[in-house]
Structure 1
């Protein structure tokens, strides 16, 4: 089928083919669990940056989608959200700022939804080869960031009221950091494919 030919292998598939010795179900579980753990780690580490400290969480969210594909990328984020809803301190600022559903209904709730949507979208784009060139990788990351911001900012506006400086609270302080992470992804992902191509793994 012509439609099936448009789907490219992801980095995960190139590095660890699903047709290998590992049972497909075990491979899926391991990748999804590892993805959720990586998300937790990225939420806990803050890097000094201007104008606000930067975490690598959005980079990991979008990177998981592009590396794993839309199904496994979204599943990793979904598992991360389930862990958080169950009360595990996986989110940034937990447990100090609350845990569980109470935290998820707070100011970051819209962004958490955006994580899931963005991972799925970036994974879908990666399966169409967008992660293999610098320009298309940067564009995919840009679109993914927009998908995170839209529900995040909208939810902030609904929660606090549009008479408040919503963009100053929920978007503009993070733009420079997100552009930095975008540039990093645009360098790393195509470079990884270039290395794999040298070894005949793409």
Structure 2
């Protein structure tokens, strides 16, 4: 696939205003609210329940692009650092340097990576969305697992912080593969219809 820079969803839907600071701030606020909601939503699953937060992080990255996507996640983390109840449990700096700290840092890099891939058009087909989401998920667990390993050891980190969550992450990757190309298909049809009417 060509690696020329293309437009993300937000650039396509808001072509005239996406570079406006108020619009970018509004998108960052909306994204941080989505991240908060996704952290609070626990879905029963086997072997462990999961939240939709990693899904939200990666989709925000793909929809916003790497700069705004990473900035949105940083804004979300800043809220948590200030003590706002934006995480699944806990808040503040002590919480952020605890067992989940590596995953939180991984969110920033994963959003940036998925945003960069989306800017190359890697969110428009099932195959490329799956690849981008898998890479983004791997980045989150790489950071999360590395930090957790420092705290409790590699074997315990794998057993408690990575392996049980893999089935849930697969479900979220499949969901993204359905959602992102479908949204792009709808956008393309809408733009084609508008062009025909004009």
Query: Same fold by TM-score, threshold 0.5 exceeded?
Result: yes
How far did residue 147 of structure 1 move? 0.3
Alignment counterpart, residue 85 of structure 1, candidates 81, 85, 93: 81
Aligned residue number for residue 101 of structure 1: 93
Asked if 1:30 is matched to 2:21, the reply is no
Q: Deviations over 1:78-132 (max 9, x none)?
A: 00000011111111112xxxx2000001000000010000000000000000000
Matches of 1:58 and 1:23 in 2, distance apart?
26
Matches of 1:34 and 1:104 in 2, distance apart?
22
How far did residue 14 of structure 1 move? 1.5
In structure 2, runs of 5+ residues without a counterpart are 193-198
Asked if 1:190 is matched to 2:163, the reply is no
What root-mean-square deviation, in Å, do the aligned CA atoms of Structure 1 and Structure 2 show? 1.6
**Where do 1:9-158 residues align within 5 Å?**
9-17=7-15, 19-20=16-17, 24-94=20-90, 99-158=91-150
Alignment counterpart, residue 170 of structure 1, candidates 137, 157, 161: 161
How far did residue 161 of structure 1 move? 2.6
Structure with more of its chain in helix, by fraction: 2
Matches of 1:41 and 1:117 in 2, distance apart?
21
How many matched pairs? 191
SS in 2 for 1:6: coil
Matches of 2:150 and 2:19 in 1, distance apart?
46
How far did residue 23 of structure 1 move? 7.5
Matches of 1:121 and 1:29 in 2, distance apart?
21
Moved over 2 A (4+): none
**TM-score after normalising by structure 2:** 0.92
